[in-house]
Amino acid sequence: MSQKTTKGKRVAVLLIAIALFITTTSLVLIEGKKKDVTMDLNGKKIELRTAASTVEEVLAENDVQVKQHDHLEPAMHTPLENGLVITWQEAKKVAIAVDGEAQELWTTEKTVQDVLKTANIEINTHDEIEPALATTISDNQPITIAKAFQVTVKDGGKESTHWSTSTTVADFLKDQNIRLYNLDKVEGDSKAQLTSSNAVVNIARVEKVTDVVEVPADFKVKRKTDLTMLKGQEKVTTEGKKGKVQEKFIITKKNGEIVSRELVSKEVVVEPTHKVVNVGAKVVVASANSTSKAQTAKSANVGVSRSNEPSGGGKEFYANASAYTAYCTGCSGITATGINLRANPNMKLIAVDPRVIPLGSKVWVEGYGYAIAGDTGGAIKGNRIDLHMPTKEAAYQFGRRQVKIKVIN
């Protein structure tokens, strides 16, 4: 090997050694410039060591794109330091509709409640919110709010106040469990929109009741010619006596006040005894005494039929009774005890206040007979019952009345 070749190899080795030294030195210098940083990306924490000099650079290294509405702390231009914590929360789009009025916003809040608080939307106890306040927000999250308002109800002359989000009178009555009977009426259009500016519901309670009264029936005066009496003389041979007539009226009441009274039938229960007067027709003076025989009239009594009252013990009291059918307004036909009245139209069943008459009890009701306490109602409180009838006509005919009731078991 020549001296020239040996010298060339030495130079090459020296150059390689110098390059390795420079590379190693550079790496040591670079490593010395790196900093330990913690990144919180949408709640996920990442710890890393980086040579980036600013927050913006380290986000770019990790492919994090910060949009306009995102939350970033600290700011992009912040220099990196050892132990720095970078928090990035990606904003989500939310659509909020309050009583039909919609708005969109970007938010980094986590729950529906926090979003509404940030948007300065006040929520009251009676408002309806979908989804619930504790729901976690997702991207393009819809939030619907129906604001509650006060509704004044004038029901049969009695006034009360309720909170509601119902949009129509019909929905409001259903939500508030306000029951309308067949003759009851809501003044105005029940399908009309109900808003806070016209939140007044007027209900006219209309009922038809039967009233039976007895009135005197006048007797007639019958005059008979008596040839045994001198002309101009009169003698009462039978005293007149008034009879009795039973008159049946259908009375219509609105909010407890009578608006009409219709006579539907008359029945003579005691025939009157007519007065009989003998009138003299003899034109000559007579000395003979005349005699006459008295006549009598029999009176007829008409009885009132009643259901046979059971004998024995049991709770007994008087109750105010009304009637209803399985097809009344707002009725489903299914009772509180699960009985289908539409499938059993002739079933004897009454609605009761369970605090007075336990559900499932067998009862006897004057004028109705034996029945089951199988239903309840919003207006059935205390000594008040509602009798199931197979037809509307039967319910109308029964009307409202006070009846005697026995709880058998």
Q: In this predicted structure, what is the pLDDT of residue 288?
A: 28
Taking only the tens place, the pLDDT of each residue in 282-303 is: 753 322 233 333 332 222 222 2
Q: Is 112 exposed, middle or buried (0-12, 13-18, 19+ CB in 10 A)?
A: buried
Per-residue pLDDT band for 350 (boundaries 50, 70, 90) equals: very high
Provide the percentage of residues in the chain whose pLDDT is more than 70.
84
Please say whether the beta carbons of 50 and 34 come within 8 A: yes
Q: Is 385 exposed, middle or buried (0-12, 13-18, 19+ CB in 10 A)?
A: buried
What is the average pLDDT across 361-384? 94
Does residue 90 have a pLDDT over 50?
A: yes
- Mean pLDDT (the chain) is 83
Taking only the tens place, the pLDDT of each residue in 323-337 is: 999 998 888 899 988
Q: In this predicted structure, what is the pLDDT of residue 2?
A: 57
Q: Evaluate if pTM is beyond 0.85.
A: no
Q: In this predicted structure, what is the pLDDT of residue 370?
A: 95
Please say whether the beta carbons of 193 and 212 come within 8 A: no
Q: In this predicted structure, what is the pLDDT of residue 13?
A: 65
Taking only the tens place, the pLDDT of each residue in 134-178 is: 998 888 889 999 888 888 888 888 888 888 888 788 888 888 888
Domains of the chain: 35-89 (3.10.20.30), 92-146 (3.10.20.90), 149-204 (3.10.20), 209-282 (2.20.230.10), 315-407 (2.40.40.10)
Q: In this predicted structure, what is the pLDDT of residue 406?
A: 95
Q: What angle do CA 245, 246, 250 make, to 5 degrees?
A: 140
Per-residue pLDDT band for 405 (boundaries 50, 70, 90) equals: very high
Does residue 386 have a pLDDT over 60?
A: yes
CA–CA gap between residue 218 and residue 214 (Å, rounded): 13
Would you say how long the chain is, in residues? 409
Q: What is the CA radius of gyration of the chain?
A: 48
Q: In this predicted structure, what is the pLDDT of residue 135?
A: 93
Please say whether the beta carbons of 151 and 161 come within 8 A: yes
Q: In this predicted structure, what is the pLDDT of residue 325?
A: 95
What is the average pLDDT across 302-315? 59
DSSP letter string, 277-318: EEEEEE-S---SPP----------------PPPPPS-SEEEE
What is the average pLDDT across 235-251? 92
